[in-house]
């Protein structure tokens, strides 16, 4: 029996996307112990993952914090990992490789760099979709991949019946009108217009709800929807995942919850401007689709509503 390490620091959408790759790594190493290195926001979540034996915390302190770096490297080394699957593929994890396995190839340290095709530059390779890149990385590392291209994030769910009873909700349409302050280009401005169209068409058949993150609670005052909270606080990731899974439909900006919706089988739409493409971020599935436009300000509420009605009815 060997110890295998997976590295996945974040973000939320990336965590959902990596679920299939983590499952494939585990199923290709059934006689080994699977460990995962992650950051504080996802530490408790990954402890629920059935394909992981143990989770190791990386506080991701600055690299010049030599004391922290020393103790983290010592912690990792004590497990004597026979192979590392770097699913983060960041400059930080490349830095870790240079400390832990400086001369290792893909047989020891699997990453997008160590598995890069000989005739392709990293810039060209990164034009492929996220899931295609992960799938190539694992296959080049000798794994059979059955789940990487179709990740299932349902393992993250938990019971939400108490919160549902508190808000008296059953059938609901879930909206995610938020985005990071520095990524305002991702924000579609017509959610309140969409809400009016939904209510005029469906009446009281569906409740219109949203689930804000900690920094988004104040913003819900500007949205004509019920904000779902747990005792005044934002839902945790598992609660959020369950609400997304149980929804009748999701409409979202290109954010983490949209990726969760895509990978728990929810019906829904995500709205893309020119910041990236739905293909590149691997978000479209059989039930979850994208609308891509050059300027989100020109995407009307009526067009989004028509897509919603077609999918629900």
CB contact at 8 A, 92 and 8:
no
Q: Are strands 83-86 and 54-57 parallel, antiparallel or unpaired?
A: unpaired
Find out whether 265 and 285 touch, Cβ atoms under 8 Å. yes
- Residue 228's pLDDT is 97
pLDDT at residue 46 in the model: 98
Both tokens of 164, joined, read 């549902």
Residue 122: strand pairing partners: none
Beta bridge partners of 229: none
Would you write out the chain's pLDDT as a tens digit for each of its 313 residues?
Answer: 899 999 999 999 999 999 999 999 999 999 999 999 999 999 999 999 999 999 999 999 999 999 999 999 999 999 999 999 999 999 999 999 999 999 999 999 999 999 998 888 888 888 899 999 999 999 999 999 999 999 999 999 999 999 999 999 999 999 999 987 777 788 999 999 999 999 999 999 999 999 999 999 999 999 999 999 999 999 999 999 999 999 999 999 999 999 999 999 999 999 999 888 999 999 999 999 999 999 999 999 999 999 999 999 8
User: Is the Cβ–Cβ distance between 198 and 212 less than 8 Å?
Assistant: no
Q: Which domains does the chain have, with CATH numbers?
A: 3-154 (3.40.50.2000), 162-312 (3.40.50.2000)
pTM of the model as a whole: 0.94
Handedness of CA 217, 204, 255, 21 (dihedral sign): positive
Quick one: 58 exposed, middle or buried, by C-beta within 10 A (0-12, 13-18, 19+)? buried
| Res 144: pLDDT | 98
Cβ(256)–Cβ(10) under 8 Å?
A: no
- What is the rounded distance in angstroms from the CA atom of residue 48 to the CA atom of residue 97? 27
Q: Which residues contact 221 (CB under 8 A, 6 or more apart)?
A: none
Q: Tokens in use for 26?
A: 């585990």
CA quadruple 69, 72, 75, 78: dihedral sign: negative
């Amino acid at each position: 029996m060997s110890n295998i390490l997976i590295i996945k620091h974040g973000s939320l959408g990336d965590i959902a996307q990596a679920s299939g790759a983590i499952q494939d790594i585990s199923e290709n190493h059934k006689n080994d112990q699977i460990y995962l290195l992650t950051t504080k926001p996802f530490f408790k979540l990954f402890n629920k993952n059935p394909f992981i034996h143990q989770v190791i915390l990386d506080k991701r302190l600055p690299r010049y914090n030599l004391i922290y770096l020393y103790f983290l490297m010592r912690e990792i080394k004590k497990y004597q990992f026979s192979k590392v699957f770097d699913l983060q593929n960041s400059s930080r994890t490349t830095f870790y490789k240079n400390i832990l396995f400086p001369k290792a190839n893909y047989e020891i340290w699997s990453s997008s760099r160590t598995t890069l095709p000989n005739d392709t530059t990293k810039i060209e390779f990164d034009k492929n979709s996220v899931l295609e890149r992960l799938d190539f990385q694992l296959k080049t590392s000798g794994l059979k991949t059955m789940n990487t291209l179709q990740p299932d994030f349902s393992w993250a769910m938990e019971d939400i019946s108490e919160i549902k009873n508190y808000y008296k909700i059953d059938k609901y349409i879930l909206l995610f009108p938020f985005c990071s302050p520095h990524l305002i280009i991702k924000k579609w401005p017509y959610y309140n217009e969409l809400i009016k169209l939904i209510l005029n068409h469906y009446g009281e058949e569906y409740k219109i709800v949203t689930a804000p993150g900690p920094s988004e609670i104040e913003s819900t005052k500007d949205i004509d929807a019920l904000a779902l909270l747990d005792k005044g606080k934002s839902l945790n990731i598992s609660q959020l995942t369950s609400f997304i899974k149980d929804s009748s439909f999701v409409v979202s900006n290109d954010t983490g919850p949209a990726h969760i919706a895509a990978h728990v089988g929810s019906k829904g739409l995500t709205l893309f401007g020119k910041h990236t493409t739905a293909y590149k971020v691997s978000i479209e599935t059989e039930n979850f689709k994208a609308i891509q436009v050059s300027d989100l300000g020109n995407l009307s509420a009526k067009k989004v509503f028509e897509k919603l009605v077609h999918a629900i009815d």
